[in-house]
Structure 1
Amino acid sequence: MTTSRRAFLTQAAVAAAITVPVLGSPAGAAGFDPRPGSDGVGDPLFPTLGNGGYQVVHYDLTFDFTPVTYDFTAVAKLNAQATQDLSAFNLDTDGHTIDSITVNGRAASHALSLGRSGQELTVTPAAPLHKGAPFDVTVAYRGNGKAPRAGLTGWRFGSDGGFASAVQSSRADTFLPCNDTPSDKATWTFHISAPEGYVATANGELTGKDKRADGSTVWHFALRERMPTELLGIAVVKGTYLYDTSHTGLPLRHIVPQGQEDKYAPIVARTPDHLAWLEAKLGRYPFSVYGIHIYDGYTDALENTTLTLMGTNWFKLNADGNPTYENTMVHELTHQWFGDSVTPNDWQQAWLNEGPAVYYAALYSEERGWSVLADKMKATYAKLDAIRATDGPPGLPKALGGTNIYDGGALVLYALRLHVGERKFERIMGLWPRRFKDRTVTSEDFIAHAVTVTGDRSLDRFLRDWLFGAKNPPMPGHPDWTATT
């Protein structure tokens, strides 16, 4: 164990074991007015997602899973800080049996009710909490991965009897009681059990393994950077770890299906080149480890922090014999900068995630000779006016998952690049993840950032028209581009 890792593990252990002294002022003291925290943070697209009255500092999750039956028992520990005087507060949860809850080591009462996207777990501590005070919550709970949920589920099941989590945007509550909003980022530690023949995965670095008498192993992971719940990436699968390093020495660990190592090893071996390509444009990779988890229980691709999840269905050559699945690998890797390290404060800012991911994947494809970026952008320009009218403009979407957020977001960046020139554009994009590393941001932050970096105040109006306008502005350098009527 290196000195730096030993120091980090000590810090993580301390963070996970914070205790809080008895708070000073008694209830009723002057200025102390405890009230329940809100059951949502007012996200424009998910009004009841997340909870008010506190911010989580650290999550510590112990998860004991049994494959095939899908039963689990778990303990979630939250170290948090009150942002108001609290008589009660909520956690997002869905489909769990709650066995006990303590706040600051004392038994707390709790109640479950139906929420808009899952269930609301209302916790009433034995003593009210003061604004600014740290506090600990420990929830012991159990459930089954295939049990009915009030909302959507984040569980994905493979042919091996295991699972992987895919919780974006509002499904982390199917794995643990939490503050399920991107505006609340925290550090994490994980302790996940896997029986013999299975491996466990999670965000962050593997810090140790403990063998148990029954033959199972508890895998310990720690993520030192702050992560929102929607990027939770845990799994128990029949898989094999493949290890590598980037060209700059970054540790890489991938998980591929057991028995298919020869098939997938050359694919994940492309990761160092992808990292080098992106680091040349965006600066140093913002986390301490990276990898790809390939799993047959998933058919999409998802940028879980430090461990992208991809289905086995992705990895086919195109009609010309090119490995264009690498575009998707680059797309998800780009998210580690845009979305994972620098995170939108609410879901209406999602173009800040998807626009750069689509743009850089398309640029990578062009540089490999597989496609032409301008052709893709011209096609997007033609249809985006109609999409703005039905789904909202890129910066004010009415829902998640639309072309306006993805290709429309990339089109905004393409227009910006043509308007300011390649050099200034690279400075805007490269300085963004360095300036806002580990923080949450809005479109307003991006607009102000572009103005600051270039010194060009006209970019404020330029970007507002592209992000929020009802119609496409003229594309710089392409007066012939028109929208389809």
Structure 2
Amino acid sequence: MTTRRSALKLGGAAVAAAVAVPALGSTAIAQPHGFDPKPGSDGVGDPLFPTLGNGGYQVVHYDLTFDFTPVTYDFTAVVRINAKATQDLSAFNLDTDGHTIDSVTVAGRPATWVLAPGKSGQECTVTPARPLHNGQAFTTEIRYRGNGKAPRLGLTGWKFGTDGGFASAAQSSRADTFLPCNDTPSDKATWTFHISAPQGYVAAANGELLHKTPRADGSTVWHFALRERMATELIGIAVVKGTYLYGTSHRGLPLRHIVPQGQEDKYGPIVARTADHLAWLEAKFGRYPFSVYGVHIYDGYTDALENQTLSLFSTNWFKLDANGRPGYETTMVHELVHQWFGDSVTPHDWQQAWLNEGPAVYYAGLYGEERGWSVLEDKMKATYEKLDAVRAADGPPGLPKALGGTNIYDGGALVLYALSLRIGQRKFDKVMREWVKRFKDSTYTSEAFIRHTVDVTRDSSLDPFLRDWLFGAVNPPMPGHPDWKASA
């Protein structure tokens, strides 16, 4: 075990240097009003997940070394977190769940830590040997271990396949089942990964594969780098019996997909459709916001999820519809839309999630309509008829009471559909295209989208229009469709 850690540590240092991760030392920043260290908060006040994330610091970069053993599901890991204090800190928290922590250092010095139950997992309170100054850059290293199937206080992000491997599906609060982290979408960072896979398995992670390091026991360490910032909930690590399939988009973007071993002929033509999907969306939004994309198809997952640069799909998803058509392509487009809406432009908190899911539903519906598989207007009318009841039960699209409801998905798409009818398709296309350009690699709120729409259209009447649609207790009238009514 010591030999493995040493080898992985050296690989991690080399890759971190290659992607120019800033060196974060322990030099204190002079404070004009004195030094008054206090603990950082154990949550960031997310309306839907009050204790998700932590206050007092911002993460700049995660470097994760993950040594996983298939079938037994045991793992050992090291995460190095480069961060910057946003206040004078006597202690700070990390979100974690189900791990045995062996050691913690802060700024190169041993730190003390305490694990306690939290509302969504566990809270790890770290006390550095020396308090941190506001503005100080520092590195925290946590060595930990565990088992993918071990009990946890909250839900798990681990998804297990018939191959004895796993894939991660961490949305919205389960990244802490893979690593101690600041598990909030408001704190995005760059990442490097060093994932071990034994012979017969491949490793996967977000971003580009830089190189592979063979080990004496026949296993391989796969080194990945994600140069664009990512929220923790979009982590896409995996160790599976899979095959990498490679290609390029029509403009030369590298594509890499992972399909089950022995099923390359079945899934190869499916993942090859990604190039056309990218071209269709880039015509609407502009250039894809990252340096690589791909689809991971795995029997250990039952749904579809937009892990950044590597969307995860169930093997059961890809079936022709009753008319023999590949309707699953609309879901492939849905997850690809998220690379712009949700991954590049990320919600500051989870109550803003309609602007992740609304565009994904809207453009997937539009894609299906252009291919003659469905009619977007029919879908929007059906949503309009039932949305008043959903607003009453689950909250309006902009103020949901929880994640995963019709209000966020179809309701969010309905808001965008109403806006497109109000301002016309040309102006609507400009609003959406400029949104992902203006807020690339950042976080957003509904208020920002309202201001952005008014700015782009120079139409101040769209402020109350969008507020009624996003926050109102009932549906406003649908532009151009006075006959649309809510169901009794």
* Normalised TM-score (structure 1): 0.97
Distance 1:387 1:365, change over 3 A: same
Residue type of the partner of 1:335?
A: H
Kept in 2, the 8 Å contact 1:92–1:173? The answer is: yes
1:441 and 2:447 equivalent? Answer: no
Letter in 1 for 2:389: A
Among 454, 463, 466, the alignment partner of 1:463 is: 466
Q: Take 2:124 and 2:452, find their aligned partners in 1: how far apart are those partners?
A: 39
Distance 1:15 1:272 in 2: 31
Q: Does 1:221 align with 2:227?
A: no
Count of residue correspondences: 475
Unaligned runs of 5+ in 1: 1-7
The answer on whether the counterparts of 1:12 and 1:222 sit within 8 Å (CA) in structure 2 is no
Taking a change above 3 Å as real, the CA distance of residues 35 and 242 of structure 1, as seen in their structure-2 partners, is same
- How many angstroms does 1:31 deviate by? 1.7
Counterpart of 2:315? Answer: 312
Question: Is 1:185 aligned to residue 188 of structure 2?
Answer: yes
After superposition, the Cα gap between the structure-2 partners of 1:102 and 1:370, relative to the gap in structure 1 and judged at 3 Å, is same
Aligned equivalents of 1:322, 1:366: Cα separation in 2: 13
Match 1:235 to one of 234, 238, 242: 238
Residue 20 (structure 1) aligned with residue 28 (structure 2) = no
Write the distance in 2 (CA, Å) between the matches of 1:271 and 1:479: 39
Pick from 191, 212, 223: which aligns with 1:209? 212
For 1:337 and 1:268, the matched residues in 2 are separated by 19
Deviation at 1:15, TM superposition (A): 1.3
Q: Is the 8 A contact 2:40 2:89 kept in 1?
A: yes
RMSD (Å), alpha carbons: 1.3
Residue number in structure 2 paired with 1:4: none
Partner residue, 2:70: 67
Pick one of 122, 137, 147 that aligns with 1:119.
122
Partner of 1:53: 56
Q: Please give the TM-score of this superposition, normalised by the length of structure 2.
A: 0.96
1:6-405 to 2 correspondences below 5 Å: 12-15=18-21, 18-23=23-28, 31-405=34-408
Query: Which consecutive residues of structure 2, in runs of 5 or more, have no partner in the other structure?
Result: 1-13
Report how far residue 22 of structure 1 moved: 3.8
Equivalent residue letter for 1:447: I
Q: Which amino acid in the other structure matches residue 349 of structure 1?
A: Q
Q: In the aligned structure 2, how far is the partner of 1:200 from the partner of 1:244?
A: 18
Partners of 1:200 and 1:380 lie apart in 2 by: 41
Greater than 3 Å deviation, 4+ residue runs? 8-14
Give 1:11 deviation, angstroms: 5.5
In 1: Cα distance, 2:18 partner to 2:344 partner? 19
Native 8 Å contact 2:198 2:219 kept in 1: yes
Q: Percent identity among equivalent residues?
A: 79
1:44-89 deviation digits (Å, cap 9, x = unpaired): 0000000000000000000000000000000000000000000000
3-state SS in 2 of match to 1:336? helix
- Partners of 1:146 and 1:468 lie apart in 2 by 41
Change (3 A) 1:309 1:412: same
| Cα shift at 1:10 | 7.1
Distance 1:184 1:24, change over 3 A: closer
Shift of 1:318: 0.4
